[in-house]
Structure formats: C-alpha cells, structure tokens
Amino acid sequence: MRLENKVALITGGASGIGKATVKKFVSEGAKVAFCDVNEELGNALLNEIGAEHDFQKVNVADRKAVQDWVDHVARRYNRVDILINNAGILRDGLFVKVKDGQLVKQMSEEAFDSVVAVNLKGVFNCAQAVAPYMIKNGGGAIINMASLVALEGNYGQTNYVATKAGVVGMTRVWSRELGGYNIRVNAIAPGMVLTEMLLSMPEAELEKLRQKPPLKRIGTPEEIANVYLFLASDESSYISGEVIRIDGGMVLGT
C-alpha cells in the first residue's frame, strides 16, 4: 500500500501503459482520477476499479478542459498528490521524402501540430493545473512520459521526438522551480512496450523487435507502471529532475 491516502491523476489512463498504471496505483491504495479521450474504454475501466475512483473524458490539449478536470478532482478528494502525464499520440512520417531529386512527400503541418498539442502542450497544461494544489498540500510528485527516442532520435518521428525532448527539458526546469515546494518532477523514457499497437503487428515482425534489446524481449505496460509507481512513492523521495530509461538496454540504430 505504497500510495495509501494519496490522490493520483493519470492522463491517457484508459488503455495501454495508462490502464496498467491505473490498476497498479489502485492496488497500492491510491484514489485514482484518470482521464482519456476514449469515453467507452474509460467508463469500462472505472466500472472495473470501482466508483470510489474517478474518470473524466478530457483532451489534454484543451487547457480549459484540463483545468476543469483538475478542479473537479481537487473538490472531490480535497487534495492532489501525484500527476502521471501519460497521454500521448503518434503521427509518424518522414520530414521530407525525395525521389529523383523531386520532393514527393513531407510531414504535414497538421501532423506536427497535433502531436505537439497533446504530447508537449498537454503535459504543460496538466502540470501547471496541478502545481498550485500540490503547493497548497505541501508537496507532490509529477512524472512525465518521455521516450527513449527523446535521447536518441528516431527515423520518421520529427514531431514525436521533438515533443519528448521537450518533455525532458520541461521536467528538468520544473524540478528546479518546484523543488522548493517539496514537489518532485521526474520523467520516464521507455523503449518498446507491448501495447495494443505493437500487438496488432504480425508475429514475424514482433519477433524481429524482440531481438533488438539486449534482454531479447519487449517490455510490458506493467513494467512501465512499476517505474511510475516507484517515482510516485516515498521510496524515491530524493529523486528529482531525473529521466529513467526503461528499454531493456536498447540502443537505437544497433
């Protein structure tokens, strides 16, 4: 019960890593308020974990919606202790594609802007909304979802890499600015994880991916949730401004 009497907000909590984190935090005694844009999956998970917890449909790119959600959670539970900035999207594509000296395709402005809105601005929106409540409570923990690609770069992910590198930067700024209020801010940087997207791939392609990390397997959402739990708990009470890789020892491009 490492999170007993704690109130945790989790974005993108209806599926994948977010869902695993919701379940993990519930099992460790937290009151969990999670949001997602998928209302059907969110309500199904809430029915599973119980009505003492909370689900709201929220697009983290919508600043007013985020503030309304955080205010609602604070009114219901009278405090905010933990924020897991987990929500994120992908819109992969080449920066430019040239054939026979001619530009044939490039990453669209919409693909760039939509990923920035959710993955970067969404993290900013949520953290800024919870910080005053954490300050009032005398402290808290903010954990942001970065990525291995933020540290290494990745082919076809200009937009995604830019946002995740930005998350790393914001994490380190906030750890400095909020540390005096006893708010710890950290980030995680997962490699490949067996979410719904990977599980939809052909088995032969999955097997190729399994061989890339030195551990010769792909991580699970539960393994990522365990690191979220560690950074949210008092076990990490002297860790702030850190980015923890969770990648099975993988180095991109090898």
* Residues taking part in catalysis: 160
Which phi and psi (to 5°) does residue 166 adopt? -65, -40
- 216: region left, alpha or beta (phi > 0 left; psi from -120 to 50 alpha): left
Q: What is the DSSP letter of 28?
A: T
User: Helices 63-77 and 122-137: crossing angle, nearest 10°?
Assistant: 30
Give yes or no for a contact between 113 and 56, defined as CB atoms under 8 angstroms apart: no
Q: Where are the beta strands (DSSP E) in the chain?
A: 7-11, 31-36, 54-57, 82-85, 96-99, 102-106, 140-145, 183-190, 243-246
Torsion sign across C-alpha atoms 13, 113, 162, 178: negative
> Both tokens of residue 17?
């890593």
